[in-house]
Structure 1
Amino acid sequence: MIISSANSTSDVNLVEDVSNWWDDPTTREWLIDKPISIAVTILVALIAHWVFRKLITKAVERGANRAVEPEKSKRPSLIKTPFGKTATQEEETPLDVQLLRRSQEQRRQARIRTLGAVGKSAVAIFVWTWAALAILTTIGVNVAPLIASAGVAGVALGFGAQSLVKDFLSGIFMLIEDQYGVGDTIDVGDGIVGDVEDISLRITTLRDMDGTVWYIRNGEILRVGNFSDEYAIARFEVPVGLSNDTETAWSVIEKSFQEAAKLPTVKDSIIGEPEMKGISSFEPDHMTFRGVVKTLPGYQWEVQRHVYAKVLTDMQREGITTPYPNGIGSISPKQLEAKRSGEKA
């Protein structure tokens, strides 16, 4: 009986201890209130992150899919009606203007998507930084000294990591000023020319014509040459030997230039009329004829390749020679035949 009474007393004490522990406000706070608060904070952060990303995605898609201008425009005409009033007629937009608009539209879409990606990153940093501070506050950590320390650390980081801050600031201004975007062909100096594959606030990724991927810090880009902004100009420099008749060579090259611009392989890339500039330089052994034509951005090299092939073929057919057609120091077949005839004589 004594043992049974002792066991009952022990059980009662254990139940009271557990009940007291459970009724303790600190226990309820750490096992129920704070975990629920932390879970709610994380849930709110997840929902906010998802909502902001959806809003940015929808805004990007809406902006990217919005047409800039219609293909046709109604402009007042100077044609008079029988009643003496000015008529309004619908005019077709020229093909070169349509091509230029299409190129600008592609660039605009690429810029919008780049800004959207940066906006999503900024939203993620903002939302989860808030969530982390809210969780620290919930578990009893005083975040005021932490924020103050972060400010001091930010100042120290600004002095100690100036290049990093410079990269971020350069990336921000680059995006705001629309210096270049994903898909553009740019020259960043030191012979690095390539297509932009990715842009972040710190690094620009380029792939050059040999397939090499270049990772360039935005703060190190001091100048940028953009080959994909609005339009490009294909320039042709054709060297012609001084033994040729100038007017004949001019006529052959100009005609070939005009015909090459109508080739099916390049006509859709050209947005202007070819223009023959004439002789651009005069050297002791040759003269150079120059021609230019406006093309879609990034297509100037393709147009150059096809036009050069056409011009060279027509020059050879018409007998227009280049300087040193047989190589420097060698003689032509006619001169060689004349030399052999003289030796036989």
Structure 2
Amino acid sequence: MAVAVGVILVVAISIQWALIILIRRVSRHAIERGPGHSLFGESVDLVPEGTRDRERREARITTLSAVARSAVAIFVWTWAGLAILSELGVQVGPLVASAGVAGVALGFGAQSLVKDFLSGIFMLIEDQYGVGDSIDVGDAVGTVEGVSLRLTTIRDVDGTLWFVRNGLIQRVGNSTKGHAVARIDVPVGLSNDVEEAKKAIGDAARAAAADEGLKDSILSEPEVDGVHALAVDHLLIRVRVKVVAGTQWATRRELLGRIITDLQRQGISVPYPNGIGISAEPSTTAGTAGPTGPTVKEN
């Protein structure tokens, strides 16, 4: 009996050791393979990996490796314990049946918790998002500050920290993974020639994209789509540019400011360039604010 128990222990230790070595080698290979492939081997089209992306990927793979090693230890030593009890003459059948019933009861009672953990595991495997990403999960939009197997914590633009259970997340929009598109809608007065305005906007956007402060964030040349919308007092001309994910908002603000400045320099008017109801030249008609103030037109 003692020999049999010893053999079981040796086999359990050997199996656990072999599986843990296999898990560690797979994890190390996944880390060294780089961002061009997922954990399942398929190719993924991503921009070059930065330091933060590499650290996040290594943390994700390390977490999955730890979960896998824990699962292996539970499985192997559960089997070993039952085998040793059987060798000692204990009837393991009732124990297994009782464990099955207890497992079913626990599953019903904690099904939401199990769902959260399973969702968290698949989220890590698929690398849907990580710490530092800007995501939209439906009820909360913001920057991820923490990720665990059960919870995702998100800080929104107002500073509110949201705790979202992974099992309740039905969809995820990640604005900081791979690449993004900055869309700039430039308002132009109706009195302008559309083709001239489009050319001026395109030239201004390309000049701004070549600037030292922006070119590292821009992945392709800006494209002018044309008139996107028409209102009673202006039209919108849309410009699109492919950028590094996470930089689309800053790029949009910077490009819009530079485009408007270039349009004014070239004589392309924007809606109400002097403010609504404010004339560009002083007038002697009624309604003036004085010799040095702006002239307000009366209806």
TM-score if structure 1 supplies the norm length? 0.63
Question: What SS is found at the alignment partner of 2:147?
Answer: strand
| 2:111 counterpart (162, 166, 186) | 162
2:157 counterpart of 1:190: no
Taking the aligned partners of 1:114 and 1:68, their CA distance within structure 2 comes to 12
Name the structure 1 match of 2:73: 127
Name the structure 2 match of 1:149: 98
Question: What SS is found at the alignment partner of 2:228?
Answer: strand
2:246 counterpart of 1:298: yes
Taking the aligned partners of 1:288 and 1:58, their CA distance within structure 2 comes to 55
Name the structure 2 match of 1:333: 280
Question: What SS is found at the alignment partner of 2:112?
Answer: helix
Aligned amino acid, residue 338 of structure 1: S
Once the two structures are superposed, residues 195-250 of structure 1 have per-residue CA deviations (whole angstroms, 9 ceiling, x without a partner) of 464242x2223344455443211111111112234321111111122233433332
Taking the aligned partners of 1:187 and 1:148, their CA distance within structure 2 comes to 44
Name the structure 2 match of 1:223: 171
Structure 2 unaligned regions, length at least 5: 37-44, 291-299
Taking the aligned partners of 1:285 and 1:157, their CA distance within structure 2 comes to 65
Is 1:170–1:219's contact at 8 Å kept on the other side of the alignment?
yes
Taking the aligned partners of 1:182 and 1:144, their CA distance within structure 2 comes to 46
Question: What SS is found at the alignment partner of 1:234?
Answer: strand
Aligned-pair CA distance for 1:260: 1.0
Aligned amino acid, residue 123 of structure 1: R
Deviating more after overlay: 188-197 vs 247-256? 188-197
Structure 1 unaligned regions, length at least 5: 1-32, 70-98
Aligned residue pair count: 274
Is 1:183–1:196's contact at 8 Å kept on the other side of the alignment?
yes
2:120 counterpart of 1:171: yes
Aligned-pair CA distance for 1:267: 0.7
Is 1:114–1:199's contact at 8 Å kept on the other side of the alignment?
no
Taking the aligned partners of 1:62 and 1:234, their CA distance within structure 2 comes to 35
Taking the aligned partners of 1:332 and 1:207, their CA distance within structure 2 comes to 45
2:216 counterpart of 1:268: yes
Aligned amino acid, residue 176 of structure 2: S
The alignment yields a C-alpha RMSD, in angstroms, of: 4.0
Is 1:103–1:230's contact at 8 Å kept on the other side of the alignment?
no
Name the structure 2 match of 1:114: 60
Once the two structures are superposed, residues 44-72 of structure 1 have per-residue CA deviations (whole angstroms, 9 ceiling, x without a partner) of 97x99898767655543443233567xxx
Question: What SS is found at the alignment partner of 1:267?
Answer: coil
Name the structure 2 match of 1:63: 30
Aligned-pair CA distance for 1:251: 2.6
**Which structure would you say has the larger Rg?**
1
Is 1:203–1:217's contact at 8 Å kept on the other side of the alignment?
yes
Taking the aligned partners of 1:171 and 1:313, their CA distance within structure 2 comes to 48
Aligned-pair CA distance for 1:316: 3.1
Name the structure 1 match of 2:40: none
Once the two structures are superposed, residues 275-311 of structure 1 have per-residue CA deviations (whole angstroms, 9 ceiling, x without a partner) of 1111111111110010101112222222212212211
Question: What SS is found at the alignment partner of 2:270?
Answer: coil
Name the structure 2 match of 1:239: 187
Name the structure 1 match of 2:42: none
Is 1:253–1:311's contact at 8 Å kept on the other side of the alignment?
yes
